[in-house]
């Protein structure tokens, strides 16, 4: 077979896989209000991961003390999702680690390193796919500027769906972007439901449908279809380029509430939003599916911080926010609120300069405030 035929053959296989994926999308939801025992898996990750997770575990131990003793909550350390083990096993998520993960209901995960280029897929992307975590929810708020945004990023499709499996021909490389009806409908439904139940009146759909006509065109059309079931919510459309500008436009940015968008745009704009809030170290991120959910910091494993010997200043704020989201997800809203309040009240900030403290001292203060 010549190179073009080989590429077409591999494209055909990818399309078939995608059709099968849609067939297997199921929607049996875990009901945490009635589940007698909930298992929380803890994954350290790479780089600063184990350091910030150490602080997150101290906080979890205190908040869930009674429930861990009574057995309504089981907390489980999941080993082996490290870059060393993944490279050795040549698997983004080694099989035995994935088995462990699937025994849990929810996960709190430190950042994992994604090697640039090469064949190794990101552990995040693999977990989102394996556990079908289709909604990436990222809240950003700045009280004194009246900013209260929640991003609903589609988390399993778009440019990420085939990850490291693009096609190469001589002098050419091709990646794929896939948008499905079902995949779009379920993220749109999640965003509108959130808006409806949290007093939000406006939802902004963000795409680049003027250029990505098929995929983003479908995304927009289906979001508008879903919108018909939510007459109380005003819907508007933006292209990702101008939306990126809008977030730094102080005249209008406080008017945005819920933002719904495909995977890659969501990835990029949520880093921007987190930076506006005070840095990527300050935002939490939820990856939610019907059966499983995974909560994590929005930032990466920050190997540079460790190389510079500054690991004590790794900021646990982002993973603690993710922890609060996890608690709310498993219907422990009172505990989530205690943590969020403590974080709001805490006068300390993690920072290497004179105005800041270490991650451990910051967490000591949070534990005092709980």
Q: Using CB under 6 A, count the residues that bind ligand IPM.
A: 5
Q: Which of residues 123-142 bind ligand IPM (CB under 6 A)?
A: 124-125
- The Cα–Cα gap between 154 and 5 comes to 32
Binding partner of 100, given Mg ion, ligand IPM, none, CB within 5-8 angstroms per partner class: none
Cβ-based nearer residue to Mg ion, 266 or 359: 266
Could you give the C-alpha distances from 259 to 54, 229, 238, in angstroms and in order?
32, 17, 10
CB of residue 49 vs ligand IPM: minimum separation in angstroms? 12
CB of residue 246 vs ligand IPM: minimum separation in angstroms? 20
Binding partner of 124, given Mg ion, ligand IPM, none, CB within 5-8 angstroms per partner class: ligand IPM
Region binding ligand IPM by CB under 6 A among candidate stretches 12-20, 121-129, 248-256, 324-332: 121-129
Interface residue with ligand IPM among 55, 82, 100, 114 (CB under 6 A) is: 114
Determine if 267 is a binding residue for Mg ion (CB under 5 A). yes
Binding partner of 164, given ligand IPM, Mg ion, none, CB within 5-8 angstroms per partner class: none
Binding partner of 125, given ligand IPM, Mg ion, none, CB within 5-8 angstroms per partner class: ligand IPM
Determine if 267 is a binding residue for ligand IPM (CB under 6 A). yes
Long-range contacts of 30-38 (CB under 8 A, 24+ apart): 30/105, 30/290, 30/291, 30/292, 32/105, 32/329, 32/330, 32/331, 33/331, 35/105, 36/72, 37/71, 37/72, 37/73, 37/74, 38/72, 38/73, 38/74, 38/105, 38/106, 38/330
CB–CB of 57/316 below 8 Å? Answer: no
Using CB under 6 A as the criterion, which residues of the chain lie in contact with ligand IPM when the complex forms? Answer: 114, 122, 124-125, 267
Using CB under 5 A as the criterion, which residues of the chain lie in contact with Mg ion when the complex forms? Answer: 267
């Amino acid at each position: 077979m010549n190179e073009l035929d080989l590429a077409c053959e591999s494209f055909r296989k990818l399309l078939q896989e995608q059709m099968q994926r849609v067939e297997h999308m199921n929607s049996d939801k875990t009901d945490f209000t009635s589940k007698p025992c909930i298992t929380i898996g803890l994954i350290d990750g790479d780089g600063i991961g184990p350091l910030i997770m150490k602080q997150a575990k101290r906080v979890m131990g205190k908040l869930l003390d009674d429930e861990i003793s009574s057995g309504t909550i089981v907390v489980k350390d999941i080993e082996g999702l490290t870059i060393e083990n993944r490279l050795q096993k040549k698997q983004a998520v080694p099989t035995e680690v994935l088995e462990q993960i699937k025994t849990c209901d929810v996960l709190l995960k430190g950042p994992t390193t994604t090697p640039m280029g090469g064949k190794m897929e990101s552990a995040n992307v693999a977990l989102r796919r394996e556990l079908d975590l289709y909604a990436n929810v990222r809240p950003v708020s700045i009280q004194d500027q009246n900013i209260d945004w929640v991003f609903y990023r589609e988390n399993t499709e778009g440019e990420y769906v085939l990850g490291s499996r693009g096609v190469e021909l001589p002098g050419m490389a091709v990646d794929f972007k896939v948008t499905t009806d079902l995949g779009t409908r379920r993220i749109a439904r999640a965003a509108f439901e959130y808006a409806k139940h949290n007093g939000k009146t406006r939802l902004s759909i963000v795409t680049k449908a003027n250029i990505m006509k098929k995929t983003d065109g479908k995304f927009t059309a289906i979001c508008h279809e879903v919108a018909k079931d939510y007459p109380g919510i005003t819907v508007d459309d933006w292209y990702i380029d101008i939306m990126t500008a809008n977030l730094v436009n102080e005249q209008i940015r406080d008017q945005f509430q819920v933002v719904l968008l495909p995977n890659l745009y969501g990835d990029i704009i949520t880093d921007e939003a987190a930076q506006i809030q005070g840095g990527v170290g300050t935002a939490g991120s939820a990856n939610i599916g019907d059966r499983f959910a995974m909560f994590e910091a929005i930032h990466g494993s920050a190997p540079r911080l460790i190389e510079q010997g500054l690991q004590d200043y790794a900021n646990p704020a982002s993973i603690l926010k993710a922890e609060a989201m996890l608690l709310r997800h498993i219907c422990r809203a009172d505990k989530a609120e205690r943590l969020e309040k403590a974080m709001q009240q805490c006068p300390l900030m993690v920072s290497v300069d004179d105005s800041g403290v270490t991650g451990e001292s910051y967490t000591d203060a949070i534990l005092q405030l709980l």
